[in-house]
Amino acid sequence: MSAKHFIIRGKVQGVFFRATTQEMAEALGLTGWVRNCSDGSVEVHVEGDEEQVQALYEWLQKGPDAARVDEVITEDAQAEGCDGFSVLNSHIVSS
């Protein structure tokens, strides 16, 4: 079991990034969540088999067709015991 936290920067809001991330994560059998951040980034928490987490990471580096991904920051995370994969409300990022 692997748990990762990703911050994706670039043109990643208003391009269906959250919805397609949810679709991809569910197709890979992963749990977790995705949300927009007030700084224009997208934040993802994912839990599951390491190979599937890696597959999602590789997809996040490109995102949906309308997106432009400039950077994906990756951190190990604590498992939250998520049930399914959710799109959460936006998050205000403090500077």
- The residues annotated as belonging to the active site are 18, 36
- For the chain, the C-alpha Rg in angstroms (whole number) is 12
Q: What angle do CA 31, 23, 93 make, to 5 degrees?
A: 65
Within 13 Å and on the Cβ side, how many CA atoms surround 53?
Answer: 21
User: What are the helix (H) ranges across the chain?
Assistant: 17-27, 50-60
C-alpha 34/C-alpha 36 separation (Å) is 7
